[in-house]
């Protein structure tokens, strides 16, 4: 059975970008694949090291989001990265398999450094986090990684390290992986930014109350030139249409509305109210399930499943050290 691994950084609650880009795929995959989901607290510290409390609190928030959307801990090993210290050790060995220059070319990291104003003073831990992602993926011999588009450079870098390692130590210990993208490769932010993201604070969260969903839909960026209802409007870059494309079930209806909008005669408020109804109905059961979960039970579950994950990572670490020839 093929193995799947994904994860999220516990830096806040999860949002519709996660849901469309990755969570929905994970729920589907858990029936057919051996699935692992990692809560990347160690990685999240690399740009939040001054605020560890945020990471700690967010671990439970992220787990709640998982269970609320239908991830089943009986089918899927959900674990905490820092409870599997073998991952840190693997990272050390893999650091030798990549150059500083190559790390510096990773477009996602470059973009994040710019966004976070880190260009002059990037912590080594942040700069090198793609290597720790290689450890996370390879420790579980994962072959399929359901992620959003921004993660493609990480998968590429992982496979380079895998090939370099196997070649250097002349043994096929590590397994290459491939990304699985959903039909929503990158959900835009409500402000029109290219990506809905926790750090940009431009996302609708799975736990948002109806009044908050309404406010956010009302505030969505549409077409600044579409002033009167009768004006012809633009569909590209129009956040409301991007969200209707991602979440509205009747695709034909959305196509018809687009044609009408382009011609003129369709107001933003009609579309926004349609989108609000759609998101409200979709998120209600998720929010209710989320709020019914008991935190102490979730913590116990995470402790238990992290032990299961650790046993798997220990085996890989053993193989890696044996391949290098340092299994003293
Ligand atoms: P942060 O701002 O803390 O980096 P984030 O919102 O970017 O948070 P991550 O935890 O970095 O979220 O991402 C976890 C997973 O969710 C990744 O696979 C990522 O590709 C996917 N993802 C996040 N945001 C989106 C989005 N807007 N569209 C599609 N996928 C997304
Ligand atoms: Mg991110």
What is the third-level CATH fold of 3-187+295-324? Rossmann fold (3.40.50)
Per-residue pLDDT tens digits for 72-110: 999 999 999 999 999 999 999 999 999 999 999 999 999
pLDDT at residue 199, rounded to an integer = 82
C-alpha 227 to ligand 1 mean position (Å): 33
C-alpha 193 to ligand 2 mean position (Å): 14
Tokens 């959003």 -> residue? 148
The DSSP bridge partners found for residue 80 are 39
The DSSP bridge partners found for residue 145 are 179
Tokens 């992982």 -> residue? 158
pLDDT at residue 119, rounded to an integer = 83
Region 52-77: mean pLDDT is: 97
Q: Is the pLDDT of residue 192 over 90?
A: yes
Specify the higher pLDDT residue, 86 or 120.
Answer: 86
How buried is 176 (Cβ within 10 angstroms: 0-12 exposed, 13-18 middle, 19+ buried)? middle
pLDDT at residue 96, rounded to an integer = 98
Q: Report which bound ligand comes closest to the CA of 14.
A: 1
Per-residue pLDDT tens digits for 234-270: 999 999 999 999 999 999 999 999 999 999 999 999 9
Phi, psi torsion values for 172, nearest 5 degrees: -85, 75
Per-residue pLDDT tens digits for 285-301: 999 999 999 999 999 99
Q: Within the chain, where are the H helices?
A: 16-18, 24-29, 41-45, 52-69, 86-95, 100-104, 107-115, 124-127, 129-139, 152-168, 210-218, 239-247, 251-263, 268-292, 295-324
Residue percentage of the chain with pLDDT more than 70: 100
C-alpha 168 to ligand 2 mean position (Å): 31
Q: Where are the domains of the chain?
A: 3-187+295-324, 210-290
pLDDT at residue 194, rounded to an integer = 86
Confidence band, pLDDT 50/70/90 cuts, at residue 30: very high
C-alpha 218 to ligand 1 mean position (Å): 23
Q: What angle, rounded to 10 degrees, do the helices at 295-324 and 52-69 form?
A: 100
pLDDT at residue 50, rounded to an integer = 95
Q: Is the pLDDT of residue 185 over 90?
A: no
Nearest residue to 94 (alpha-carbon basis) of 66, 125, 46, 128: 128
Per-residue pLDDT tens digits for 305-328: 999 999 999 999 999 999 999 999
Cα angle: 63, vertex 154, 17; to 5 degrees: 45
Pocket test for ligand 1, best of 22, 57, 144, 186 (most atoms within 8 A of CB): 22
Q: Is the pLDDT of residue 198 over 90?
A: no
Pocket test for ligand 1, best of 4, 9, 242 (most atoms within 8 A of CB): 9
Contact 40, 91 (CB under 8 A): no
C-alpha 18 to ligand 1 mean position (Å): 6
Region 124-139: mean pLDDT is: 97
Q: Are strands 144-146 and 76-80 parallel, antiparallel or unpaired?
A: unpaired
Phi, psi torsion values for 75, nearest 5 degrees: -100, -15
What average pLDDT does the structure give for the chain? 96
C-alpha 69 to ligand 1 mean position (Å): 16
pLDDT at residue 7, rounded to an integer = 94
Q: Is the pLDDT of residue 126 over 90?
A: yes
Pocket of ligand 1 (CB under 6 A): 8-9, 11, 17-18, 21-22, 147-148, 150-151, 184, 186-187, 195-199
- How many CB atoms neighbour CB 109 within 10 A? 21
Domains 3-187+295-324 and 210-290 share a fold: no
Pick the CATH number of 210-290 from 3.40.50.300, 1.10.240.10, 3.40.190.10, 1.20.1090.10: 1.10.240.10
């Amino acid at each position: 059975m093929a193995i799947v691994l994904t994860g999220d950084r516990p830096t806040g609650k999860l949002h519709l970008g996660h849901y469309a880009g990755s969570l929905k795929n994970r729920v589907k995959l858990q029936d057919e694949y051996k699935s692992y989901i990692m809560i990347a607290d160690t990685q999240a510290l690399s740009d939040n090291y001054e605020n560890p409390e945020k990471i700690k609190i967010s671990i439970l928030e992220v787990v709640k989001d998982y269970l609320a959307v239908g991830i089943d801990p009986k089918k899927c090993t959900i674990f905490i990265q820092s409870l599997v210290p073998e991952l840190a050790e693997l990272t050390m060995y893999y650091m030798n398999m990549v150059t500083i220059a190559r790390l510096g070319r990773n477009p996602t990291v470059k973009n994040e450094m710019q966004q976070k104003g880190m260009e002059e003073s990037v912590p080594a831990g942040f700069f090198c986090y793609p290597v720790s992602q290689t450890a996370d993926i390879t420790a579980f011999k994962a072959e399929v990684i359901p992620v959003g588009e921004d993660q493609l450079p990480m998968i590429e870098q992982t496979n380079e390290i895998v090939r370099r390692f196997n070649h250097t130590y002349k043994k096929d210990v590590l397994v290459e992986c491939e990304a699985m993208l959903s039909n929503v490769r990158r959900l835009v932010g409500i402000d029109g930014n290219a990506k809905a993201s926790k750090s940009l604070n431009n996302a609708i969260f799975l736990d948002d109350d109806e009044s908050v969903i309404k406010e956010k839909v009302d505030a969505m960026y549409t077409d600044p030139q579409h002033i009167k209802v009768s004006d012809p409007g633009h569909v590209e870059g129009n956040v409301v249409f991007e969200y209707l494309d991602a979440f509205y079930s009747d695709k034909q209806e959305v196509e018809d509305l687009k044609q009408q909008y382009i011609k003129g005669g369709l107001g933003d408020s009609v579309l926004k109210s349609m989108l609000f109804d759609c998101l409200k109905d979709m998120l209600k059961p998720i929010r209710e399930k989320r709020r019914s979960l008991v935190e102490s039970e979730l913590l116990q579950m995470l402790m238990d499943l992290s032990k299961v994950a650790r046993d798997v990572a220990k085996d890989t670490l053993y193989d890696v050290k044996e391949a290098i020839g340092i299994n003293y």
